[in-house]
Structure 1
Amino acid sequence: MNMVFAQLKSLLVPVVALTALAVMTGSGSPPDALDRVHSRGELVLATTLSPTTYYHNQHGPTGMDYELVRGFAEELGLELKVIEAQDLGELFSLLEAGSVDIAAAGLSITPDRARHFDFTTSYQSIQHKIIYRRGETRPRQLSELAGKRIVVEADSANAELLRHLQEDVPFLDVTELPGAGVEALMALVRSGRADYTLVDSNRFALHRTLFPDLDAAFDAEASSMGWFFRPEPNRRLHHAAQRYLTRMKLSGEVAKLERRFFRHHDRFDLYAARSFIRHRDQRLPQYQDDFHTAAASTGFDWRLLAAVAYQESMWDAGAVSPTGVRGLMMLTQQTAREMGVANREDPRQSIAAGAAYLRKMHDRINEDIPEPDRTWMALAAYNVGIGHLEDARQLTARGGGDPNRWQDVRQRLLLLSRPDYYRQTRHGFASGGQAVVYVREIQNYYDRLVWLDQHNGEPAPTLLAMLH
């Protein structure tokens, strides 16, 4: 008898589960995507590795698309699971097969994609830029690309755009390369293996400092980016995402994320970019072990410490400023004494002391401040002093801003040089604008070092083979 009940129970359990899911839909219809994610307790995202969408830094996964989707998952009360596709072809295959719930990777909304997938309202707009080598004749229009080799990533919006443009310019020589990221495409153009490539404007903004010998010739077309879903009769998950993105845009949160991830890349200096690449190849290797050692003892990412050192001295151990600070981390005499440094021009001592001093600033800052904002504020304190940082945080709170958000505090730091503001503070006048620039430049160098550390900047041999 017990065996009979056990068999009946095993048959009834899936029936009960399906009935419960049917009740969730409110109509007795089969469960849809929203039911499935709640049943699993997680939202599964397909994305690709890119500094504009999803990557890892010292604080874990981040990127504009990742942060947006993570917020959506939290709103639904779900955990976020990320599946990193190797290329766009795999990403869309995962979505089409139903292996993921949503695809977000800076995906442009295009006519071809719209025939296969549902997509949300746009959350960002970009331009598709034609990239060429500086020193070569700059093309001004599409007809001038005829007969030249153009490389793009297979399955990308840029590849689709060129296929349509070939109807008007039939002699375009286009090679679509599977899995070719922006850095690989730009490396092919830099090396002369290709004449041109197409790159989205936001990706170009982040990568141009790594490829200072390349520039944008002209904009081929504009497009909008959205999240993609597998088409279903009941589109409740899609509609929930649509409502979420609309609120995020109207509240200004999307704009804040754009400033967070892209603002410190909006200034381009050709000479500085070339110098950074040269110094990264020639100077950084001498001190890399010391940065690793200091990172291990302080808990910071070694690339962050290296970025600080580059901002301070351009990795010149003998650097001396007009005010007397010196060495790789440009320590003052007072800081050197405080940190026990006997010789400020000794690279190992300078790096260790600079890292320890940054850790000291970080530890003094309110631990309720989330990362990465706490690190950015520690860097500001490293530059302008902890007292002035706290003054700026108090001004932020008085002005209705969030004193735990770097983007809000940085605006008040700029006010510390104005008498009508610094007279309200405990520590008085400060060159807050200098600290803001200081943090912005370190963010810029750090992003470059993270990306260069993960990618050698050269296209894979398999991609090169496809060009022959």
Structure 2
Amino acid sequence: MRRLLGGALLAILAVSACAPEPRRAEAAPDAFHGDLEEIRERGTLRVLLPTRVVADQLPRGGRPLNHERQLIEQFARDEGLEPVWIRVASRNQLFAKLLAGHGDIAAANLTASDERRRSVQFTVPVSVVREQLIGSGDDPNPVRSVDDLAGRRIHIRRSSSFWSTVQELRERQPTLVVEEVSENVQTEEILHRVASRAYDLTVADSNLVEAVLSYNLDVEVLMDLTGDRVIGFAVRPESKLLLDRVDRFLSSIQLTTRAGRRHTDDLDGILKRRALRVLTRNNAATYFLWRGQLMGFEYELAGEFAREHGLRLEMIVPREGESLYDLLREGRGDVIAAALTPPPERRLDGVTFRYPYDRISHVIVARSEEEGPLSFADLRDRTVHVQRSSPFWRTLAALESDWGFRLEAAPEALEMSAILARVAGGEFDLTVADDRTLEVERSWRRDIRETLTLRAGIPLSWAVRESNPQLAAAVDAFVKRSYRGLFYNVIHDRYFGERSLQAAESAVREDRFSPYDEIVKKFADDYGFDWRMVVAQMYQESRFQLDAESFAGARGLMQIMPLTAAELGIEDLDDPESAIHAGIRYLDWVRDRFEPQLPVQDRMWFTLAAYNAGPGHVRDARRLARELGLNPNRWFENVEKAMLLLSNVEYSGNARHGYCRCREPVAYVRQIRERFNAYVEAGNLVRGG
């Protein structure tokens, strides 16, 4: 597969790693009120859920936000059904669509309130939560009692189950003000607005609060407003067989156990829970969120292991200061998959390292423009920058005096990509990286290169507890069976293979900017875009190649994921008109993620950055810009500066969407702007320009 500059890692909608991608309904479904027997005859399970084109955040705590989707996929697979996802515009339409027969089951983190139970049936609990009052962590007047709510404001959506809870609270404190929030604003975003003091107070379910607190978000739980509340799936009252089967399925995997419970049992216990908890790191070589899709070599490999054993995959990223090994020993994960180099004895205080699944080399990295160093003798008087905690430090310390170079400690907060960027920019002289990480970086940049190999053939292994011999044997068997097999080779090449940044440009007539100007003009006008901006973006995405395909599976002139195109109601990405329509329609969807009050140009730059990296990373950058005293409403020299910092663990560790290879979207926006300006200046060469 080709890797196209600016068009890689394109994906929308995080899909479970443990199941094939389900299909989307072609159009609004016909009304159908049958129970499970009729559903089996049809062969599809229609699932109603709110429209959400991209994943909201990187799952770090073992309970991903799409876990309900994973559960339904697993249930459908057990029943021999194909899940069909039917999107509705807002949550308050879910029950009407369900009762009208336009879906079989509704899934949206739904509270099984008494009011809702009067119209629909709820399954046994998917989870058990409490509704909690939330305020800012630095509120000078924190709420400690109902009396403290006098004159305060609570911001919530009217359609949420919290609305009735707050009305009851208002009866106890009449001066409390309830502010209605737009139905398009997700609860996670409301929490971030509370953290920034844009909103005063809000209410959220405890499971969601726990998730956002894993990002060190500065909010505080002020009080529980309710006792335990059940979160479940909803079905029609007449779907008794379906309800019974879903109840049995949920009961069998014990989902009512609260998130964060510790388990140290072996594979037999994991199979009973039907979930594999994988401890990992958030970086470009292991596990990351890019443009709405969960990605990473370790993530995909662990997903294949989970799928082979019929397990859901739960990825757990430790908080700053937490040790992967400590979390494993404590039973907060089942396996570590984080590109670990095992010690010579292959054991470490109750942890055992399994059969190697890959081998790497440690290489010296320099700027591409310089010729050396060609030998170790050429290292004399050079400076090598690595972190003291890295596996390279000990090797270099032993060589420093012999070869006459200076060893300097790089900041511990920097991710490897940030260190490599400093080498490319001349701030650091040389560094050392493993060849896999270097390949990831060189998939989109050519200003750094490998020079000398320090060590070769270094094994990488997963780690499990010594007390889990069944799991250890299963991991070894999986690695031996998969290593260099078809699946392994495909994903290894996807992340670490040699990919060209270059793409041949299509022939363009002198009086056109692209072969597709007229099509672009048509759809750009429909959606209110400058067509020359879209052409500049199309060049950046595909070099006008209709058959362009990124290693992540994005296709066509605008590098759209097929699932995203389907979510937008467009199927054929091999057709120029359909491909361009899909790209512009998605661009319009992305633009709507940003407030219309922004300056027009900056809203466009935010939109382009979000098209490339995902809206979530741009929102993270805007929040960070505000914290740094930069203007969160201006892209150039403000938000773009903050975005570059999201490749550093110091900042990405607290970001809702995690690590970001954000030099790429920053360059992406600048290059599109430059090409757009050139098109504008050359407008007299274009008919109608």
1:144-159 matches, cutoff 5 A:
144-159=378-393
The alignment partner of 1:67 has SS state of helix
SS at match of 1:48: coil
- 2:441 partner SS: helix
Pick 1 or 2: higher relative contact order, CA cutoff 8 A, min separation 6. Answer: 2
SS at match of 1:183: helix
Partner-residue secondary structure (3-state), 2:361: strand
Residues 351/177 of structure 1: CA separation in 2 closer, same or farther (3 Å cut): closer
Contact 1:52 1:63 in 2 (8 A): yes
Corresponding residue for residue 500 of structure 2: 267
Question: Relative to 1, partners in 2 of residues 1:199 and 1:461: Cα closer, same or farther, differing over 3 Å?
Answer: closer
- Describe the shift of the 1:385–1:191 C-alpha distance in structure 2 as closer, same or farther (beyond 3 A): closer
Q: CA, structure 1 residues 341+241, in 2 after alignment: closer, same or farther (shift >3 Å)?
A: same
Q: Could you tell which deviates more after superposition, 148-157 or 233-242?
A: 148-157
| Secondary structure at the counterpart of residue 267 of structure 1 | coil
Alpha-carbon distance change, 213 to 253 in structure 1, aligned in 2, over 3 angstroms: closer
Distance 2:610 2:337 in 1: 21
Secondary structure of the corresponding residue to residue 644 of structure 2:
coil
| C-alpha contact (below 8 Å) 1:108/1:223 kept by paired residues | no
Q: Deviations over 1:99-157 (max 9, x none)?
A: 32211123334538755542232322322220123445612233543554322245433
2:574 to 376, 381, 392: 381
Partner of 2:284: 51
Equivalent residue in structure 2 for 1:322, among 499, 502, 509? 509
Relative to structure 2, which stretch is displaced further, 211-220 or 41-50?
A: 211-220
Which residue of 478, 492, 496 maps to 1:258?
A: 492
Contiguous gaps of at least 5 residues in structure 1: 1-29, 273-310, 314-319, 364-368, 387-444, 464-468
Distance 2:521 2:283 in 1: 39
Which residue identity does 2:336 align to in structure 1? A
* Normalised TM-score (structure 2): 0.38
Task: Check the 8 A contact 2:387/2:411 in 1, yes or no.
Answer: yes
CA pair 159-458 structure 1, distance change in 2 beyond 3 A:
farther
What secondary structure is seen at the aligned counterpart in 2 of 1:205?
helix
CA distance in 2, matches of 1:342, 1:38: 50
Instruction: Report the count of equivalent residues.
Output: 317
Cα distance change on mapping 1:154 and 1:180 into 2, 3 Å? farther
Q: Tell me, what secondary structure is at the counterpart of 2:457?
A: strand
CA distance in 1: counterparts of 2:286 and 2:319, whole angstroms: 14
Distance in 2, Cα, partners of 1:338 & 1:210: 30
Is 1:347–2:532 an aligned residue pair?
yes
Within-5 A mapping of 1:428-439: none
Per-residue CA deviations over 1:440-462 (Å, capped at 9, x if unaligned) read: xxxxx999953996751688697
Deviation, 1:186, is 1.2
Provide, for residues 399-442 of structure 1, a one-character-per-residue CA deviation record: whole Å limited to 9, x for no partner: xxxxxxxxxxxxxxxxxxxxxxxxxxxxxxxxxxxxxxxxxxxx
The residue identity in structure 2 corresponding to 1:182 is M
CA distance in 1, matches of 2:534, 2:464: 56
Give the conservation status (yes or no) of the 8 Å contact 2:562–2:573: no
Q: Which has the higher helix share?
A: 1
- CA shift in 2, pair 1:72/1:351, >3 Å: same
Cα separation, 2, equivalents of 1:110 and 1:234: 19
Residues 43 and 73 of structure 1 are in contact (CA less than 8 Å); yes or no, is this contact kept in structure 2?
yes
Give, in angstroms, the shift of residue 255 of structure 1: 0.3
Match for residue 418 of structure 2 among 180, 184, 195 = 184
Question: Are the counterparts in 2 of residues 129 and 198 from structure 1 also a CA contact under 8 Å?
Answer: yes
What pairs up with 1:79-98 in 2 under 5 angstroms?
Answer: 79-85=312-318, 90-98=323-331
Distance 2:333 2:265 in 1: 13
Q: Distance in 1 between matches of 2:364 and 2:538?
A: 46
Aligned to 2:478: 244
Higher strand share: 2
Paired residue type of 1:456: L
Q: 1:112 to 1:176 in 2, by over 3 A?
A: farther
Selected match of 1:333 from 489, 504, 518: 518
Equivalent residue, structure 1, for 2:334:
101
Residues 53/379 of structure 1: CA separation in 2 closer, same or farther (3 Å cut): farther
**Of the candidates 644, 668, 672, which is equivalent to residue 456 of structure 1?**
644
In structure 1, C-alpha distance between the alignment counterparts of 2:291 and 2:412, rounded to whole Å: 29
Contact kept? 1:52, 1:203, Cα under 8 Å: yes
Q: Which residue of 1 aligns with 2:360?
A: 126
What secondary structure sits across from 1:157 in the alignment?
coil
Cα distance in 2, alignment partners of residues 262 and 225 from structure 1: 16
Letter in 1 for 2:270: V
What displacement does 1:69 show?
0.3
Normalising by structure 1, we get a TM-score of 0.53
| Contact 1:89-1:178 at 8 Å conserved across structures | no
Letter in 1 for 2:277: V
Contact 1:183–1:458 (8 Å) recurs in 2: no
> Does the residue aligned with 1:185 lie in a helix, a strand or coil?
helix
Q: Percent identity?
A: 21
CA separation in 1, counterparts of 2:466 and 2:416?
Answer: 32
RMSD between aligned residues? 5.0
In the alignment, the residues of structure 1 paired with residue 330 and residue 380 of structure 2 have an alpha-carbon distance, to the nearest angstrom, of 38
Letter aligned with residue 453 of structure 2:
D
| Alpha carbons of structure 1 residues 448 and 156: separation in structure 2 relative to 1, 3 Å | farther
